[in-house]
Amino acid sequence: MEGRLMHILEGVSRTDQYRALGLSTFAFTVCFAVWTIFSIIGVQIKQDLGLSDTQFGLLVATPILTGSISRIFLGIWTEQVGGRALFPIQMLVTSVAVWLLTWVTTYEMFLVAALGLGLAGGSFIIGVAYTSRWFEKERQGTALGIFGMGNVGAAVTNFGAPFLVVALGWEGTARVYAVVLAITAVLFYVLSKTDPAHAARKLSGAGPVSTGQQLEPLRKLQVWRFATYYFFVFGGFVALASFLPRYYTGAYGLELTTAGVFAGLYSMPGSIFRALGGWMSDKWGARFVMYLTFIVSLVVLFILSYPQTSYTVQGIETPIEFNFGLTVGMFVGLTVVLGFVMSLGKAAVYKHIPVYYPNHVGSVGGLVGMIGGLGGFVLPIVFGMLLDVTGVWTAPFMLLFVVVLVMTIWMHVAIRRMERRKHPQLAGERDLSDLPDEPYGTAPAHRAD
């Protein structure tokens, strides 16, 4: 398989690789900025329509639903027609949906328009399938990590959209986004090239891979395990990028522009360090990166989950009052750490796919991306419901803590089972913290130096 990949990449220059990576990353950044636009303009729409937190959560999450479900179909189509053709089509269709959003006046129609806008999220799997075709196996983790930095589009929206809303209103902001997305689609098609795998298939006269063949790997439990990890590292990232502006304006009483900047500080490391996560996965392995992501996330989420608390202890002479709560500066700092490790985890998950499933990147990556995106759809709705039901601002972080705890335990159990299948001689051991490649005494004896 590796020899076939090297054969396809013959004649591909570094310039060709960097061109493909740069164009797909830029296009994904623009698409991601569009995908999260409701995190900012939704706040103004919420006020205009008098929406509850649950209704607002549904509005913010609806584009995530389309972007999630569309990924598996767009992934399959990318394998069949190529990313150079499909990427511009997806962006043009989305730009029309964003423009039409400005004509809507009722909540129900906003939900319908949000479904069309959500196609922007499907750009991820198109870019993954397109970009991975240009790079050798040893460099795919880093390349896809760089591409994944397009998540910084959420930070672009959080930083820039509030000022556009102040200057142009939310309708004018949506029109600007629509125009920029359409221009990006044209530039991508004009400047990009057909990926090597698709070009080789066209040259050989071979037909496109059937949908049934593309879906075949989805029967493997391993694929679904990767998808659940992505539910948190990506779905949780998208959910928090959308939720934090609302949290800052409500829990700390900040202005929307300030809340957007603070939310952008979370989104920024959650995006730009994905390249580092890809490099770390290439160098030390994706398993190490996933453990690091989950353990640090548990610590941070535990602290974020603790609500502003005041309690009184009856002292010997007088009552003694204690207060605990995070200042806005401490809270922002912790979200930056959380965004950083989540970016590493996103890269680690996608490191596996082109290595294990090089001929099914579209379908496997599409499923993983779909489940992750569904996390971005479900979680904002649940966040809104938790706020309405509990009245506690930190309840969403409590939920995320439980989710990560369950995933960490499941991942560790799955890894231990795989290790015991690999080394049945050690199946009865309970005290090992790690396992060697070859259990001592099973490998042929070597001369001692």
More confident residue, 318 or 440: 318
pLDDT at residue number 301: 95
pLDDT at residue number 135: 81
Domain 2-198+228-422: CATH superfamily, name plus number: MFS general substrate transporter like domains (1.20.1250.20)
CA-closest candidate to residue 114, choices 49, 65, 43? 65
More confident residue, 189 or 141: 189
Taking residues 283-312, report their average pLDDT: 87
**50-102 pLDDT, tens per residue?**
888 778 878 877 887 888 888 888 888 887 788 888 999 999 999 998 998 88
* Gap between the Cα atoms of 104 and 102, Å rounded: 6
**34-58 pLDDT, tens per residue?**
988 887 887 778 888 888 877 887 8
Evaluate whether 286 touches 351 at the Cβ level (below 8 Å): yes
Taking residues 395-415, report their average pLDDT: 90
Q: What are phi and psi of 84, to 5 degrees?
A: -65, -35
For residue 382, with 0-12 CB atoms within 10 Å meaning exposed, 13-18 middle and 19 or more buried, which class applies? middle
Task: Look at the pTM and tell me if it is higher than 0.75.
Answer: no
* Gap between the Cα atoms of 240 and 335, Å rounded: 9
Taking residues 11-31, report their average pLDDT: 88
Kindly indicate the confidence band of residue 427, based on its pLDDT and cuts at 50, 70 and 90: low
Kindly indicate the confidence band of residue 207, based on its pLDDT and cuts at 50, 70 and 90: low
* Gap between the Cα atoms of 289 and 279, Å rounded: 10
* Gap between the Cα atoms of 16 and 22, Å rounded: 10
More confident residue, 232 or 104: 232
Which residues pair with residue 321 across a beta bridge? Answer: 312
Report whether pLDDT(272) > 80. no
Which residues pair with residue 323 across a beta bridge? Answer: 310
Report whether pLDDT(443) > 60. no
Of 10-24, 51-65, 280-294, least confident by mean pLDDT is 51-65
- The per-residue pLDDT of the chain, averaged, comes to 80
Report whether pLDDT(146) > 80. yes
